[in-house]
Amino acid sequence: MTRPRHVWAKLLLLALCCYFLIPVWWVVVASTKNAEGLFSGTGALWFHGFHLFDNLHALFTFNNGEYLRWLGNSALYAFAGGLGCTVVSVLAGYGFAKFNFRGRNIVFALVLGSVMVPLTALVIPTFVMMSKVGLIDTIWAVILPSLLSPFAVYLMRVYAGASIPDELLDAARIDGAGELRTFWRVALPLMRPGVVTVALLSIVATWNNFFLPLTMLSSSKLYPLTVGIGLWEQLASSNNGGGQSLWNLIIIGSLVSIIPLIIAFLTLQKYWQGGLSVGSLK
């Protein structure tokens, strides 16, 4: 390898890193400032006093600790919705990959076609349907629609097809294991990286969701973080003077809410980096 080219490549990579880090750096810096430091108009990218703990305290106590409530709601929706979605999708992916039942191909073609249906187009009719059965403004209105992910099913089908040898399943069956037992004892351990990837993807999708909870929920005590912070932002920008302290809360609130997922991604690295390739390979 010639040296100079790699120098340019490395410089380009560094530049990319800077670009991707700027907003995060800004949030970290701004989280340590008080309102005066934030609005002083000098050095937005560098520290000015250290008020991180004051800000954290204000964040967790503002309005009877509604931020913590939102954090809890987000976690609940992400885990219930994301894990539920994973269970449903893994079962379906395995079913599609390893069973040759009548109607399989047509059902799978339908599922694949539905990957192209824009999910937000479904939010408004889902809202009307949910309101008919009285589920609007309950946690179910957010959790139940989150269980649907045709793409996760596709991913798991590909993954199950590639990672579970049929001979192994047949051997388990010959040994007298039932279908559920075969799935649990033989198939599932082999699919683990795929399962972790799908779980991570669907948890992230639910944690990040904005449109669905925004439409389904009206009482702020059920809000997830995304909708809650959006609410604060509206309050802060509608009254410019009194909103000053709220801007601080929004910034520190953003920082706190991005930390859990970053930790999840860092600790589960070796799973998802391998698992994500499944969708693109055949």
Partner 1 sequence: MAVETPVNAGTSVPAGLAARGGRVRRGNAGWLFILPFLLVFVAFLVAPLVYAGYLSLWTKGLATGTTFAGIDNYTRAFGDPSFRKGLWFVLKFSVVVIPLQIIVALVAALLLDEITGRLAKFSRLVIFLPYAIPVVLGALMWGFLYSPTFGPIEQIASFFDFRAPFLLSQGNVYYGLLNVVTWQWSGYYMIIIYAALKGIDSTIYEAARIDGATARQIALRVKVPMVSSALALILVFSLIGTLQFFSEPQILRPIANGSITPDFTPNIYAYELAFNYAQFNYASAISFALGFVVFVAVAIFMFVTRKRGSLFT
Which positions from 238 through 277 interact with partner 1, judged by CB under 8 A?
A: 238, 247, 250-251, 254, 257-258, 261-262, 264-266, 269, 273-274, 276-277
The C-alpha atoms of residue 201 and residue 184 are separated, in whole angstroms, by 22
Which of 3, 4, 64, 128 binds partner 1 (CB under 8 A)? It is 128
For position 195 contacting partner 1 by CB under 8 A, the verdict is no
Q: Are 168 and 185 in contact (CB under 8 A)?
A: no
**Type of residue found at 92:** A
Tell me the closest approach of the beta carbon of residue 57 to partner 1, in angstroms: 21
For position 14 contacting partner 1 by CB under 8 A, the verdict is yes
C-beta closer to partner 1: residue 67 or 247: 247
Tell me the closest approach of the beta carbon of residue 180 to partner 1, in angstroms: 8
For position 147 contacting partner 1 by CB under 8 A, the verdict is yes
Q: Look up residue 99 and give its DSSP letter.
A: -
Cα radius of gyration rounded to whole Å, the chain:
23
For position 30 contacting partner 1 by CB under 8 A, the verdict is yes
C-alpha pair distances (Å), 96 with each of 146, 152, 230, 237: 21, 12, 40, 50
The region of 49-57, 65-73, 188-196, 227-235 touching partner 1 under the rule CB under 8 A is 227-235
Largest CA distance in the chain: 75
The region of 52-60, 62-70, 97-105, 188-196 touching partner 1 under the rule CB under 8 A is 97-105
Reading the block at residue 148, the tokens are 């649907």
For position 108 contacting partner 1 by CB under 8 A, the verdict is yes
Nearest Cα to 194, choosing from 102, 271, 80?
Answer: 271
